[in-house]
């Protein structure tokens, strides 16, 4: 805690120093500063009736303070110093290595994924990377994981040399609780990339990524997870042609030890000195490719991706292995209007994913198709049509029937506008039909789940006033054998400006009626107020207040249970520079 | 003479009885395909030495076969660990009786194990027997058990699709979640936990997943759909104005589009657990049963005059123009 105080004090001093620096910057053009710094506080409250009812859990921390400090200082033409400090005072980790942690050491605070402390001084083509960095080398090597450490990114001419090393997580002791802490091993990461690139012509790079757990770093050790070691190398290339055509490819090989506690095994694939195989080491590969065209009025592309069943990279923690997928995407504009723009915009994609590729008998197939078609017929009328489909099919295996789930969604949304020089009215109707069929693998019976949604929106825009009201009414009905859910929502909002448009308010109230089967209905009222206040040219004060009152009917026991949630977020943002 | 034969017979029988150890083998019907994940739950081998019996040294000989009798793996007896049992009961688990470092796998099973850590899906028979060290003579009955290996795959979040953009007017009432089931369907009942996290400003989706308190954690059994009634006033969490990162990633026009909408982005995933609440997942690297997550964005149109394509399309197009 003492360390945290020192850190915050240091930051505050830095902010003040920067403000002074910025004041004098106008006199010294070689120095400039941009970016922001801010602090925000969030309060969450929850009260429930009757007392002792456990039916609704808090959704946010009771009190949370967050800081951000992200100025970018520019010294002359060649040297820049960007900061990226974002951190919160209270750990709220639910998933991942810090799951359940309440009191954290300074090391854990620094490497907790909720906090970032990064500094990237750059001189011409040489960038030093210090502190927390989320580095994206490629889609199959690393890109997801934040690492606290040091490294560099050098771009002399058309070459690029990157290296970074540090910790992605500290050791966390297992604790039965309450609250339970899953525990984690301290993980060190290394990454290196060597490449050559010419803007809008080509890029080629070879990447190496490694991570290794320290098996002695947690005591007692985690129950479910074993210390691991992973090494991935990938070759990535991109070529850009005339008229927006491009080809991208990447091939990657991973060697991954799932349990470092098991003995070394000379019969298995090693890649010394980077990784030495244990009996739990696996070696597999992955590849992806994309070809397409990107233009102002037409995008088209084909994407292929294969991830081997044993492919694992420390840079993407949740990558699903054992799959092959391909997708065709397109976006185009058509039907020119009088001003040279387009009346029609279409976005579509279709593809298939095969899961469990390594198993000849258990392959599961998944079809995906999406279409969004917008047409502006004239100044008054527009229509948006959408269709989404996915189907999932897998063999039965030991079950009499295989899995077959099919989802179809169709939406239509006409919008009509009319008005005069004082007010423009917008009326929009949005109807959506969704059908979801699930087959039971034991009986073969298909359960059909149907959903109808209708939304009517009316927005009058007053051209001579600062008031912006909006109203919407929504009806939702979901049904399947033995179950029906009905929802009706009425919502009204009002936005207005004050203090010479320096203060922008928005208030919203929403009533929701919900009813399940023959139970008596639930009632829900939500109200919120937003305010963005430009206190000065550089300082903004944002406030958000909301309350949510929910009262059950007799759908749950105890009957007529209720809860009241309240949430306040307020924060200041200071903008550096002009 | 007959008496002498009788006494000799009794002595021989009692010697054999002393030598015989009683063994029991239990293997769950559907263990995970990843052999290193076999622990105390998947395989138990109980060896009982009768009271008063002598202390014996032994090796566990294991043979793994496919249902058609093809041998998949055998114990390398020369490398196997010599164990000792006194007049007691000894309980051994998977790591003791089929340690990967002394099992010799063959053919496609060896390839599969080296590549994926898993054996191919199918029906198998595991037979265990105790043998003497040095000369490897059997001195217990062969115990065999059949089991089925199914390469389970965790659910895939499907709806909202990854990076889908939803209208706030609709999303404030309900958001429909759909995902694929665990495939193939396991014999035991699994629970799906739908979790949704808000991605705060200046957070990456993965940061939000690994550090934020979830807005929703809902257990679902028996189906792969959940209708979430968020009961949220979507606060504007993505602040684009004055953002250096946004300046470098988006054109001025695209940033103007983003500044005209209130954006709240979420990351959602499915955590699968078994009936005891233990994370499910065969070879799931994080051992938490968490599937690869998806993100979705809820936007509210803040344009003064709302003409032309809906804000969702404008926002989506701007995101697609993002410079890589």
What pLDDT digit, counting tens, does each position of A270-289 carry? Answer: 999 999 999 999 999 999 99
DSSP per-residue codes, B232-301: ---------TT-HHHHHHS-HHHHHHHHTEEEEEEEEEEEEE-TTSPBP-SS-TTSS-BPPPEEEEEEEE
pLDDT of residue A267: 85
Average pLDDT of every residue of chain B: 85
Asked whether residue B4 carries a pLDDT value surpassing 80, the answer given is: no
- pLDDT by residue (tens digit) across B182-200? 988 887 889 999 999 999 9
Contact B209 A112 (CB under 8 A): no
Contact B176 A405 (CB under 8 A): no
Taking CA atoms, what residue in A is nearest to B207?
Answer: A113
Taking CA atoms, what residue in A is nearest to B215?
Answer: A59
- Rounded Cα–Cα distance for residues A166 and A125 (Å): 23
Confidence label for B304 from pLDDT (cuts 50, 70 and 90): confident
Confidence label for A501 from pLDDT (cuts 50, 70 and 90): confident
Chain A interface includes B4 (CB < 8 A):
no
Asked whether residue A12 carries a pLDDT value surpassing 90, the answer given is: no
Contact A68 B239 (CB under 8 A): no
Contact B233 A61 (CB under 8 A): no
What's the gap in Å between the CA of B50 and the closest CA on chain A? Answer: 33
pLDDT of residue B312: 84
| Of residues B241 and A432, more confidently modeled | A432
What's the gap in Å between the CA of B183 and the closest CA on chain A? Answer: 7
- Rounded Cα–Cα distance for residues A66 and A542 (Å): 14
Contact A372 B185 (CB under 8 A): no
Residues of chain A with Cβ-Cβ distance to B235 below 8 Å are 528, 530, 544, 546, 569
- pLDDT by residue (tens digit) across B114-143? 998 888 888 999 999 999 998 999 988 999
pLDDT of residue B285: 66
Contact A61 B185 (CB under 8 A): no
Residue A5 host element (H or E): helix A2-25
Average pLDDT for B282-305:
84
Contact A455 B169 (CB under 8 A): yes
DSSP per-residue codes, A103-125: S--HHHHHHSTT-EEEE--EETT
Instruction: Report helix, strand and coil shares of chain A as percent, to nearest 5.
Output: 5, 60, 35
User: Among A564-573, B50-59, B290-299, which is the least confidently predicted range?
Assistant: B50-59
Contact B206 A144 (CB under 8 A): yes
Chain A interface includes B218 (CB < 8 A):
no
Residue A74 host element (H or E): strand A63-75
Q: Which of B149, B209, B222 is nearest to B182 (CA)?
A: B222
Confidence label for A24 from pLDDT (cuts 50, 70 and 90): very low
DSSP A518: T
Other CB atoms within a 10 A radius of the CB of residue A260 amount to 19
- Rounded Cα–Cα distance for residues A196 and A18 (Å): 37
Average pLDDT for A365-369:
92
Asked whether residue B7 carries a pLDDT value surpassing 60, the answer given is: no
Asked whether residue B283 carries a pLDDT value surpassing 50, the answer given is: yes
* Closest Cβ opposite residue B244 in set A35, A114, A403: A35
pLDDT of residue A396: 78
Asked whether residue B6 carries a pLDDT value surpassing 60, the answer given is: no
Contact B183 A453 (CB under 8 A): no
Residues of chain B with Cβ-Cβ distance to A259 below 8 Å are 36
DSSP B111: H
User: Among A397-401, B97-101, B163-167, B234-238, which is the least confidently predicted range?
Assistant: B234-238
Contact B100 A398 (CB under 8 A): no
Beta strand pairing status for B56-66 and A116-119? unpaired
pLDDT of residue A348: 94
Chain A interface includes B237 (CB < 8 A):
no
How much of chain B, in percent, has pLDDT values that exceed 90? 47
Predicted ipTM?
A: 0.92
CA-based radius of gyration for chain B: 30
* Residues 91-150, chain A, touching B (beta carbon < 8 A): 91-99, 112-114, 116, 134, 144-146
- pLDDT by residue (tens digit) across A109-146? 999 999 999 999 999 999 999 999 999 999 999 998 99
Confidence label for A14 from pLDDT (cuts 50, 70 and 90): very low
Contact A280 B117 (CB under 8 A): yes
pLDDT of residue B233: 83
CB A140 within 8 A of CB A193: no
| Of residues A1 and A397, more confidently modeled | A397
Residues of chain B with Cβ-Cβ distance to A368 below 8 Å are 161
Contact A436 B225 (CB under 8 A): yes
* Residues 150-179, chain A, touching B (beta carbon < 8 A): none
Contact B184 A424 (CB under 8 A): no
Average pLDDT for B14-23:
60
- pLDDT by residue (tens digit) across B33-58? 888 888 888 899 999 987 666 788 99
* Residues 432-461, chain A, touching B (beta carbon < 8 A): 432, 434, 436, 438, 441, 447, 449, 451, 453, 455, 457, 459, 461
Average pLDDT for A481-508:
94
pLDDT of residue B175: 96
- pLDDT by residue (tens digit) across A36-53? 999 999 999 999 999 999
Residues of chain B with Cβ-Cβ distance to A269 below 8 Å are 114
* Closest Cβ opposite residue A92 in set B180, B213, B290: B213
- pLDDT by residue (tens digit) across A57-99? 999 999 999 999 999 999 999 999 999 999 999 999 998 888 8
* DSSP tally for chain B: helices H, then strands E: 8, 17
CA-based radius of gyration for chain A: 28
* Closest Cβ opposite residue A384 in set B114, B115, B310: B310
Confidence label for A307 from pLDDT (cuts 50, 70 and 90): very high
pLDDT of residue A235: 98
Residues of chain A with Cβ-Cβ distance to B185 below 8 Å are 397, 399, 403, 441
Q: Which of A60, A66, A34, A32 is nearest to A46 (CA)?
A: A60
List beta partners, residue A92. none
Taking CA atoms, what residue in B is nearest to A361?
Answer: B121
Domains of chain B with CATH codes? 17-149 (2.60.40.10), 157-323 (2.60.40.10)
pLDDT of residue A102: 87
* Closest Cβ opposite residue A320 in set B279, B292, B316: B292
CB A367 within 8 A of CB A391: yes
Average pLDDT for A162-177:
93
* Residues 267-286, chain A, touching B (beta carbon < 8 A): 268-269, 279-280, 282-284
Contact B116 A284 (CB under 8 A): yes
pLDDT of residue B24: 94
Q: Which of A238, A236, A231, A228 is nearest to A208 (CA)?
A: A231
pLDDT of residue B318: 77
Confidence label for A535 from pLDDT (cuts 50, 70 and 90): very high
CB A339 within 8 A of CB A378: no
Other CB atoms within a 10 A radius of the CB of residue B51 amount to 7
> Which residue is listed with tokens 């992955």?
A286
Contact A263 B159 (CB under 8 A): no
List beta partners, residue A247. A239, A291
pLDDT of residue B13: 44
CB–CB contacts below 8 A, A to B? 311
Q: For residue A60, is it left (φ>0), alpha (ψ between -120 and 50) or beta?
A: beta
| Burial (0-12, 13-18, 19+ Cβ within 10 Å), A244 | middle
Contact B169 A355 (CB under 8 A): no
Residues of chain A with Cβ-Cβ distance to B249 below 8 Å are none
Contact B116 A98 (CB under 8 A): no
Contact B184 A453 (CB under 8 A): no
How much of chain A, in percent, has pLDDT values that exceed 70? 95
Contact A92 B212 (CB under 8 A): yes
* Closest Cβ opposite residue B287 in set A224, A413, A430: A224
Contact A364 B180 (CB under 8 A): yes
The model's pTM is: 0.90
Average pLDDT for B213-222:
94
Chain B interface includes A531 (CB < 8 A):
no
Other CB atoms within a 10 A radius of the CB of residue B311 amount to 22
Taking CA atoms, what residue in B is nearest to A307?
Answer: B116
* Residues 183-222, chain A, touching B (beta carbon < 8 A): none
């Amino acid at each position: 805690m003492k360390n945290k105080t020192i850190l915050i004090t240091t930051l505050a001093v830095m902010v003040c120093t920067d403000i002074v620096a910025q004041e004098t910057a106008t006199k010294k053009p070689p120095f400039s500063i941009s970016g922001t710094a801010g602090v925000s506080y969030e309060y969450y409250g929850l009260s429930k009736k009757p007392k002792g009812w456990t039916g609704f859990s808090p959704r946010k921390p009771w009190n949370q303070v967050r800081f951000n400090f992200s100025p970018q200082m520019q010294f002359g033409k060649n040297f820049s110093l960007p900061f990226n400090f974002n951190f919160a005072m209270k750990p709220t980790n639910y998933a991942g290595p810090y799951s359940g942690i309440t009191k954290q050491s300074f090391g854990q605070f620094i490497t907790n994924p909720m906090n970032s402390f990064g500094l990237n001084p750059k001189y011409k083509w040489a960038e030093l990377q210090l502190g927390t960095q989320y580095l994206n080398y490629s889609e199959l090597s690393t890109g997801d994981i934040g690492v606290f450490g040091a490294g560099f990114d050098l771009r002399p001419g058309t070459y690029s040399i990157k290296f970074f090393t540090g910790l992605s997580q500290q050791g966390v002791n297992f604790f039965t609780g309450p609250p339970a802490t899953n525990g984690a091993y301290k993980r060190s990461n290394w990454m290196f990339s060597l490449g050559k690139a010419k803007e809008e012509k080509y890029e080629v790079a070879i990447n190496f990524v490694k991570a290794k757990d320290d098996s002695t770093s947690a005591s007692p050790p985690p129950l479910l997870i074993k210390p691991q070691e992973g090494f991935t190398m990938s070759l990535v290339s991109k070529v850009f042609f005339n008229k927006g055509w491009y080809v991208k490819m990447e091939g990657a090989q991973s060697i991954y030890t799932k349990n470092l506690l098991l003995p070394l095994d000379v019969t298995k694939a090693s890649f010394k000195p980077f990784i030495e195989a244990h009996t739990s080491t696996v070696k597999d590969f992955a590849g992806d490719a994309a070809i397409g065209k990107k233009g102002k009025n037409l995008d088209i592309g084909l994407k292929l991706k294969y991830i081997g069943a044993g492919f694992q990279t420390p840079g993407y923690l949740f990558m699903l292995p054992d799959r092959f997928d391909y997708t065709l995407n397109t976006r185009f504009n058509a039907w020119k209007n009088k001003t040279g723009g387009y009346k029609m915009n279409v976005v579509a994609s279709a593809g298939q994913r095969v899961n469990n590729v390594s198993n000849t008998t258990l392959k599961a197939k998944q079809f995906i198709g999406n279409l969004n078609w917008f047409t502006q017929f004239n100044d008054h009328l527009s229509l948006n049509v959408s269709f989404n489909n996915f189907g999932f099919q897998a063999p039965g295996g030991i079950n009499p029937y295989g899995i077959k789930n099919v989802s179809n969604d169709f939406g239509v949304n006409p919008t009509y506008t009319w008005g005069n020089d004082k007010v423009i009215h917008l009326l929009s109707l949005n109807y959506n039909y969704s059908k979801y069929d699930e087959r039971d693998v034991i009986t073969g019976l298909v359960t059909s789940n149907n959903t109808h949604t209708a939304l009517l929106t009316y927005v009058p825009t007053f051209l001579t006033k600062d008031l912006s009201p909006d109203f919407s009414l929504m009806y939702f009905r979901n049904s399947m054998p033995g179950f029906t859910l009905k929802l009706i929502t009425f919502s009204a909002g009002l936005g207005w400006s004050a203090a010479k448009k320096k203060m922008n308010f928005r208030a919203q109230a929403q009533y929701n009626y919900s009813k399940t089967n023959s139970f008596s209905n639930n009632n829900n009222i939500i109200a919120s107020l937003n305010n963005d206040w430009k206190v000065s040219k550089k300082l903004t004060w944002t406030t958000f207040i909301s309350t949510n009152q929910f009262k059950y009917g007799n759908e749950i026991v105890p009957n007529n249970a209720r809860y009241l949630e309240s949430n306040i977020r307020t924060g200041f943002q200071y903008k550096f520079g002009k | 003479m007959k008496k002498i034969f009788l006494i000799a017979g009794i002595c021989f029988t009692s010697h054999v009885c002393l030598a015989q150890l009683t063994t029991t083998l239990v293997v769950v019907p559907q263990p995970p395909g990843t052999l290193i994940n076999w622990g105390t739950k998947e395989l138990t081998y109980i060896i009982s030495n009768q009271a008063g019996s002598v202390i014996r040294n032994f090796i566990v000989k294991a043979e793994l076969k496919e249902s058609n009798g093809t041998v998949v793996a055998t114990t390398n007896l020369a490398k196997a660990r010599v164990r000792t049992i006194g007049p007691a009961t000894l309980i051994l688990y998977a790591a003791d009786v089929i340690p990967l470092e002394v099992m010799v796998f063959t053919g496609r099973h060896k390839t599969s194990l080296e590549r994926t850590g898993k054996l191919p899906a199918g029906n198998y028979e595991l037979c265990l027997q105790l043998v003497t060290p040095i000369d490897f003579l059997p001195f217990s009955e062969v115990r065999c058990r059949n089991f089925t290996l199914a390469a389970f795959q965790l659910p895939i979040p499907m709806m909202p699709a990854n990076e889908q953009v939803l209208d706030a007017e609709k999303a404030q009432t309900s958001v429909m979640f759909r995902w694929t089931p665990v495939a193939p369907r396991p014999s035991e009942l699994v629970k799906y936990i739908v979790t949704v996290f808000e991605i705060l400003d200046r957070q990456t989706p993965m940061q939000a997943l690994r550090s934020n308190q979830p807005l929703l954690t809902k257990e679902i059994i028996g189906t792969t759909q959940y209708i979430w009634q968020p009961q949220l006033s979507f606060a504007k969490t993505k602040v684009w104005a004055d953002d250096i990162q946004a300046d470098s990633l988006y054109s001025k026009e695209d940033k103007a589009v983003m500044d005209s909408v209130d954006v709240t982005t979420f990351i959602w995933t499915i955590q699968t657990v078994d009936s005891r609440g233990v994370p499910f997942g065969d070879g799931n690297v994080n051992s938490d049963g968490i599937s690869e997550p998806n993100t979705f964005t809820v936007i509210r149109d803040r344009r003064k005059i709302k003409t032309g394509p809906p804000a969702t399309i404008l926002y989506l197009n701007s995101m697609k123009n993002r410079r890589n």
